[in-house]
Structure 1
């Protein structure tokens, strides 16, 4: 990339950061969005859009959230909206264990040991790849890998926000690029199959119908993310001076003999924990398994326990390290580690309170469903060639993703529209699902409506106090645009070369009769 094009790009990103940071505080932004949803639902509630709700098969109705019964329901649900909001529990429970590991010095020592054996130039792809693999543990990457990306870069003498950007790109931007099967695969396959059976009741899909494509995509996303981080994002971040509280962050000092010994004890406790988990999950009647014997389905207790297991994964070695090194000598210090972690989460909780209320009202209004169905209908009406239609689905999904974050909820809305439409054009549900996954991943990292976006802003503010929505959006925009374009072209080339998408998958659909 030449200096002129780099300069233009940096000026654009600087403008994005400036404009973005002029937006209200994230909490105030979601209060404003909540008010907009109320007003729009009132204004559109009496209009017949001639749209069928794909969930019920009935006419889609915009529900007026300013109506008396809707408002009383809203106020009676405020507490449960917040307390049952999934990201809140995930983050807080994981942070309790991480707090002990950080307080005891285990994370500090572990990172110093890791950096001593990892070449500095390999840090970026290592963090992105770890972020991609973290998808197997549901949302763990958001609370684990992203903050560690900043800490690792800082310890290596690089800008910590670049580490956060690289980790965020892997965890969220590359959400559908993974060579390790996860619970997301059967979940999307089940929705795709239901959509396909609307047209062909006999069709069945394999849960790993996109596995080969997502495996190769992990290489693509790692390579793209590596280039963007080192050549575009990190050079721009040099203007963002570090002014946060950096006193407790690790340095590159070599480990002492005592620290090395304590670290070995802590790592041994991790190995022992995994052995116990493996043994207790290995037999067919294990209580960790679902009723069908699966360990990876959403109903399996193991999958439901991922976050508590992460809590223990940090709590146990953190405690072992603290006792061995002497940083934890009594129960008071043990609890102090958790308390210190929670003390920094106040701002996050305030934001999550208003996000939870906004998401509730947005869902109740049906505005998101209207947007998704109208967009899909417009794409269908264009009757474009197959390759252009697939690209259109990717970009439409990416746009809708800015407003409707949940991968499963969004696909549940779109699959009954996209899949039968494409099957009539001779395009398989397997290919339609692959296209959806690209659009769903690529724009996660630039929308403040994604529930974990404000958490990443909080991670950034640890290093740069005035970091805001604009800072994070400007950091992540190059990733989002490049992922969306390059990944789309990659899928079209993959299709053109007829490389298998996954197990028992196809590109073409022909009726069974």
Structure 2
């Protein structure tokens, strides 16, 4: 073997490191067993630290922060009394199942198959990666729909193009979750975070008002950074590493790259026509200022707007209706039995996911009740304040601290509700505006979403991977996403520093400095 051949076949240092991460990660217990273990750890730590004076204040109540022992008789009784509702009311469960019902019909009828083949026929293979990432970024406007829609389709699209499907899942996951705060389309996340930021700022300045789009220009520019960086990482780092992950799943029902036949094109046209009609009806009903789709203030994008609350049912209909039309035209769906079979087939593959979600829901409940997560956030913020570093280093510290806390507390709104009353008044006293603090938070919150098994949708993405590689596990997904996470965290932070240094506007009515009145 020549030296040139040896150098080609020798894995790079990065690939060897990621291989080691995958091996170690896959030796972790099954995700369900992992969360059972974490539940017991939370119980033990709550017992160990109960009664300890941490000299910290709970920002929610203004009272001394204490750890609540979850092993007392009262706490355990309460735990068992809410165990069922913890699971049945766990937000990701309903989102996934409802969306999958509609997707199941669309997949069973062949609508998704035909649609992907039509897209593939018009999209150059080398543009697939940025297309998937960008679609994932835009999917934030549909709240959590990207997790159940874009990520699995990323795998299907890459497989249909002859590329490794796990690379498609990684690219889509990077766009949907790693780039969660990079978007050029306003979403419900913007007013939700702004409201929390404003409440935190008003603790120090009761008269301050923030614009819901106070980070809009920055998040728009960030979409380009995340897309370009994600494109490079997918094609140059992640996909080459995946060459050793052989496909051994059941791939019989995945779309191939054959051109559409005449009857398929006809059915696809009718299906897309039904989509246009449906979107037209939605637009016509939402456009009037007094539309029932709007919030009380007339907004369509406010978190309280019925339209935003109905995103998942609308996604359900977006796939159900054209899937049904396609099936009827092409003859795949002839009776109601066929229609229900598509939904049943989709649900049959969700059993493992539901088992994992049950234990995640119980863990999150106990973790929240114990106050361990709040203690971690409060102590971390206090440490940054005591260091009294320059503004740029402080903001960088906020980003990295948020990224670390995000490994343990997944919800963006819940985490910011805990951190904003600490970070924002602290930074305002240093002359840093709430708008900049919020932008820093969004970077840290997004970047590490994709490497923590505690993120509620992480196990679902593992399930998507197992469709193609049956022995894929936590380690496989973590190794795939680690290059995205670390690159996003570092490059995105540097981008904010450069953006700030150039004085470019963060968003509408936003500023970098806070000047007391």
For this structure pair, what is the TM-score category when the shorter chain's length is used for normalisation? over 0.9
1:297: Cα distance to partner?
A: 1.1
Distance 1:70 1:306 in 2: 36
Match of residue 246 from structure 1: 251
Match of residue 393 from structure 2: 388
Structure 2 unmatched ranges of 5 or more: 1-6
Q: Give the alignment partner of residue 126 of structure 1, picking from 122, 131, 149.
A: 131
- Pairwise mapping of residues 447-466 of structure 1 onto structure 2 (< 5 A)? 447-466=452-471
Distance 2:408 2:37 in 1: 15
Match of residue 68 from structure 1: 73
Q: Give the alignment partner of residue 283 of structure 1, picking from 275, 288, 295.
A: 288
Answer yes or no: is the 8 Å Cα contact 1:94–1:311 preserved in 2: yes
1:242: Cα distance to partner?
A: 0.1
Cα displacement string for residues 260-291 of structure 1 (whole angstroms, at most 9, x for unaligned residues):
00000000000000001011111122111112
User: Is 1:17 equivalent to 2:15 in the alignment?
Assistant: no
Cα displacement string for residues 468-498 of structure 1 (whole angstroms, at most 9, x for unaligned residues):
0000000000000000000000000100010
- Pairwise mapping of residues 121-200 of structure 1 onto structure 2 (< 5 A)? 121-200=126-205
Match of residue 258 from structure 1: 263
Match of residue 101 from structure 2: 96
- Pairwise mapping of residues 79-90 of structure 1 onto structure 2 (< 5 A)? 79-90=84-95
Range moving further from structure 2, 285-294 or 155-164: 285-294
1:3: Cα distance to partner?
A: 7.4
Q: Give the alignment partner of residue 434 of structure 2, picking from 429, 433, 438.
A: 429
Distance 1:5 1:62, change over 3 A: farther
Answer yes or no: is the 8 Å Cα contact 1:98–1:315 preserved in 2: yes
Answer yes or no: is the 8 Å Cα contact 1:100–1:314 preserved in 2: yes
User: Is 1:327 equivalent to 2:314 in the alignment?
Assistant: no
Match of residue 52 from structure 1: 57
Match of residue 33 from structure 1: 38
Distance 1:332 1:446 in 2: 41
Distance 2:415 2:194 in 1: 14
Match of residue 402 from structure 1: 407
SS of alignment partner, residue 204 of structure 1: coil
Cα displacement string for residues 365-384 of structure 1 (whole angstroms, at most 9, x for unaligned residues):
00000000000001111111
User: Is 1:511 equivalent to 2:511 in the alignment?
Assistant: no
1:337: Cα distance to partner?
A: 0.2
1:296: Cα distance to partner?
A: 1.1
Distance 2:256 2:127 in 1: 18
1:4: Cα distance to partner?
A: 11
Q: Give the alignment partner of residue 499 of structure 2, picking from 494, 503, 508.
A: 494
SS of alignment partner, residue 238 of structure 1: helix
Distance 2:70 2:436 in 1: 38
Answer yes or no: is the 8 Å Cα contact 1:155–1:252 preserved in 2: yes
Cα displacement string for residues 178-224 of structure 1 (whole angstroms, at most 9, x for unaligned residues):
00000111111111111111111111111110000000000000000
Cα displacement string for residues 79-107 of structure 1 (whole angstroms, at most 9, x for unaligned residues):
00000000000000000000000000000
C-alpha RMSD of matched pairs (Å): 1.0
Distance 1:168 1:268 in 2: 30
Answer yes or no: is the 8 Å Cα contact 1:196–1:416 preserved in 2: yes
- Pairwise mapping of residues 294-443 of structure 1 onto structure 2 (< 5 A)? 294-443=299-448
1:48: Cα distance to partner?
A: 0.8
Normalised TM-score (structure 1) = 0.99
Distance 1:153 1:4, change over 3 A: closer
Distance 2:449 2:144 in 1: 13
Distance 1:266 1:157 in 2: 26
Aligned residues: 511
Distance 1:274 1:146 in 2: 23
Cα displacement string for residues 443-481 of structure 1 (whole angstroms, at most 9, x for unaligned residues):
000000000000000000000000000000000000000
Match of residue 3 from structure 2: none
1:399: Cα distance to partner?
A: 0.1
Answer yes or no: is the 8 Å Cα contact 1:6–1:232 preserved in 2: no
Distance 2:399 2:179 in 1: 14
Cα displacement string for residues 203-254 of structure 1 (whole angstroms, at most 9, x for unaligned residues):
1111110000000000000000000000000000010000000000000000
